[in-house]
Amino acid sequence: MKSSKLSLLRLYGIFVFVSVIFLIGIIYGYLQKDPVLFWTSIILFVLLGIIRILIIIRSLLHKTEQQKKHAVKLQVEQNKLLALVNSLGEAVFALDKKGRVSVYNSAAMELIDSHNDLAGQLFDKILPLQNKDNQIDQLINATLQESKVVTRDDLHTTISGQEISLYILVTPIKQSGELVGVLVMARDISKQKNLQQQKDEFLSVVSHELRTPVAIVEADISTVLSPTYLGGIEPKTEKLLRSAAQNITYLSGLLQDLSDLSHSERTVLDVELHSIDSDLLCKELVESMTERAKLENIELVYLNEKDLPKITSSDQRVREILINFLTNAIKYSASKGKKIELSTKVSQKYPGGIQFAVNDEGLGISSEEQKKLFHKFYRSSSQEVQAIKGTGMGLYITMQQAKKLGGDISFDSQIGNGSTFYLDLPFTIPVSKVTTTQ
């Protein structure tokens, strides 16, 4: 490309030079009244002009041909792109800065149940996205303003009289660093939502129906192991009964975890809100857990910061989260004689809120396992952890509960140096998070 441009410049230079010579010949022939030189120079000058015009025309034709080839190539690439987009199972909409559809695929037409041309139409009119409050969600406008990738699975819409749940991914489209539109991918997740609801209902029913008979068996075994009956039982029988008591207690805890799991995965929590005195709450928890800690030769202490504000939240859920922290701290303390500290202070994440912390001197958690700690059913593969009974649901449930309370859970940990788990809660729980009964 570069050499061809240089050749054209040289050619034009030669034309200019020869044209000047012919002009000089015309002028000189005229002044000398030499008709042969005069007319010969004119004829040659005209011929040179014709040759220049022909070269220019050829150059233009060549450029036009190149443009045609380029246009064909662009069309081929565009067809490939459209074929790729149409092969996607998800509905795809490309929108301009005003939220109008510019490109879409066949799955998009199937999703909205339409055969009309969508180009130029407003996306919010074609597929009005509604939130859980049945209000039109401003997801697209927000993405156009903030220029961030957004995913949502809590939106729904009504198509042909039927409500469907949607998973939405919105990605900004930029050209030379400037936002020119957004790409929207939508998928119908109604079946998954229905299956999730059925699973939650199944877990709720199973845990509820089994809890009563398990509680009766647990109470009966506890009664048999009481001093009133224990005197007439042989040591071998007593050993079997104590083993049964441990297992029935574990089964009771498992049923409680299943029930908590079902509740934690609901969009909102059905709870009672109370004004919580963190100092009083922590003292009650330490008192109730001290005997269990003593059985493992662990000292349980409470360190409080004075004059902490009261927060409005669910007393039951906060207790459940902190009990999980304390139970894990006791279970995973590697050797006897360890100390566990429960402390409170003003939250740095939420102005006017509280931070609860449970610090232990136990096994600790490796950096690799920390990434998966709050995954459902995850348990460490280490021999020390596998030797301790557990379901891998506790921390997942507590994280879900904390989020529903408008708070957050974080932690610090090192192998061999123990762990500290933090629960940060706001001054008051967001109303949208719960169905309240006060």
Cα 292 from chain centroid (whole Å): 39
Q: Residue type at 199?
A: K
- What distances in angstroms separate CA 16 from CA 11, 20, 56, 296, one per listed residue? 9, 6, 14, 103
Residue with tokens 């902190």: 322
Q: Where in the chain are the domains?
A: 2-85, 88-188, 190-266, 269-436
Residue 431 is given by DSSP the state: G
Would you state the pLDDT for residue 438?
A: 41
CB neighbour class for 75 (10 Å; exposed up to 12, middle 13-18, buried from 19)? exposed
Which option is the CATH number for 88-188: 3.30.450.20, 2.60.40.10, 3.40.718.10, 3.40.50.150? 3.30.450.20
Reference 268, options 133, 88, 72; nearest CA is: 133
Q: What is the pLDDT along the chain (438 residues), one digit of tens a residue?
A: 555 555 666 766 676 767 677 677 777 677 777 777 777 777 877 777 777 777 777 777 777 777 777 777 766 666 666 666 666 778 889 899 888 998 888 888 888 888 888 889 999 898 998 888 778 888 888 888 888 888 888 888 998 888 999 999 998 988 888 888 888 999 999 888 888 777 777 776 777 677 678 778 777 877 877 777 766 778 888 888 888 877 777 677 777 767 666 666 665 555 678 899 999 999 999 998 888 888 788 889 999 888 888 999 988 889 989 988 998 888 887 555 588 999 999 999 998 999 999 999 888 888 888 888 888 776 666 666 666 666 667 788 888 889 888 999 999 998 888 899 999 999 987 655 554 444
Q: Return the H-helix or E-strand segment holding 171.
A: strand 162-175
- What distances in angstroms separate CA 139 from CA 35, 121, 122, 152, 217, one per listed residue? 84, 17, 14, 9, 53
Interval 253-309: pLDDT, tens: 777 767 666 666 665 555 678 899 999 999 999 998 888 888 788 889 999 888 888
Give phi and psi for 35, each to the nearest 5.
-65, -35
Beta strands in 354-407 (DSSP E): 354-359
Assigned token pair, 8: 């054209």
Residue 135 is given by DSSP the state: P
Reference 156, options 184, 119, 193; nearest CA is: 193
Would you state the pLDDT for residue 261?
A: 66
Q: Residue type at 29?
A: G
Interval 70-98: pLDDT, tens: 777 766 666 666 666 666 778 889 899 88
Which CATH number describes the domain made up of 269-436? Answer: 3.30.565.10
Q: Hey, is 72 helix, strand or coil?
A: helix
Q: Residue type at 332?
A: Y
d(CA 326, CA 103): 55
Q: Are 239 and 233 in contact (CB under 8 A)?
A: no
